Amino acid sequence: MSEKIPVLELQRVDKSFGPIEVLNEVSLKVNAGEVLCLLGDNGAGKSTLIKTLAGVHKPTRGKILMDGQEVAFAGPRDAAGRGIATVHQFGGTFPLMSIGRSFFVGVEPTKGWGPFKRFDRKKANEIAVKAVQDFGITRIDDGERLVGGLSGGERQSLAIARAVHFGARVLILDEPTAALGVKQASHVLRIVNETKRRGLAVIFITHQVMHAMAVGDHFAVLIRGAIAADFRKGEKTREEITDLMAGGETMAQLEANVEGNT
């Protein structure tokens, strides 16, 4: 395989809060059109790692590279501006806003001029609905619906579609399937695959091995803030990963379900 330049790379990143070391020499890379699965139990340092990637925390030591160039994020907005988008467990964070309104928070399309510049809600609704339908969620067809009325999977899909629409290059998914049922989870996994197909680099954080195996190209297991294992698809069996991780008993059943949908 030719040496591609990873979209995002961490080189021996340490992060400590005072005397407490949370991340220890973490090295990771993720290429365009690939899914990197970050596995780890609760407390392994996953959230700190996400926040470091998203520009919330600055690494204590080590480097962050984008396209081979070293970068230092000034904050979450800077990281977002460079194309790093984070989607959290519950997707949309504005449950009482309409789909169109929440899709465009901070970047509202306007019509008119000067002091009469108006928020173009019709256009916002249309674009939002189209963006999410392009991902195969055809059940969302009215941009005036409230985000809080969508199912967990639909909300995740909407959040992912939003990130893609606004030109994200790296998509960080923080436990997107943790709170979902089997069917909903397979919807989200299908969307992860679609995102990958569109050439985004995806970092998929989970503690469910079966979900990771369904979409991952590359796997890293995080234990107590350090990378305990780093391998590519097919290099380890499900049982071996399960050994590294806890859980995963209903894997076979779920995997069959996901396969059926892709």
Partner 1 sequence: MDLISSLLRRPDAASVLSLVGVLAFYMLFGGVDLGRFAAAGSWVNFAANLGIVALPVGLLMIAGEIDISIGAMIPAGSMTTAILSGYYGLPIWVGMAAALALGVLVGLVNGLLTVRTTVPSLIITLGTLVAMQGVVLSASELLTGNSSVGVKAPEWAKVLFGQLIGGSHQVIIVWWLILTAFFAYVLQETRFGNWIYAMGGDKESARNAGIPTQRLTIALFVLSATCASFVGMCQAILFNSAQVSGGMGFIFNAIVSVVVGGVLLTGGFGSVLGIFFGTVTFAVVIQGIYFTSIDRNWSNLIIGLVLLIAVAMNESFRKLALSYVPRKGNKAVNV
Shortest spacing between CB 157 and partner 1, in angstroms: 15
**Which residue number, 130 or 232, has a Cβ lying nearer to partner 1?**
130
Nearer to partner 1, 97 or 229 (CB): 97
**Four-residue CA torsion sign, 50, 56, 60, 64:** positive
Q: Give min distance, CB of 80 to partner 1, in A.
A: 7
Where do contacts with partner 1 occur on this chain (CB under 8 A)?
76-77, 80, 93-97, 101-102, 104-108, 110, 117-119, 126, 129-130, 133-134, 141-143, 145-146, 148-149
Which ranges of 134-208 would DSSP assign to H, the alpha helix? 152-165, 182-197
CA pair distance 117, 77, nearest whole angstrom: 25
Smaller CB separation from partner 1, 33 or 95: 95
CB of 149 to partner 1, least distance (A): 4
Task: State which residue, 41 or 126, has the beta carbon closest to partner 1.
Answer: 126
- Closest contact distance (angstroms) between CB of 49 and partner 1 is 18
Strands of 84-87's sheet in order across:
84-87, 170-174, 201-206, 35-39, 218-223, 226-232
DSSP summary character for residue 4: P
Report the Cα 100 to chain-centroid distance in Å.
21
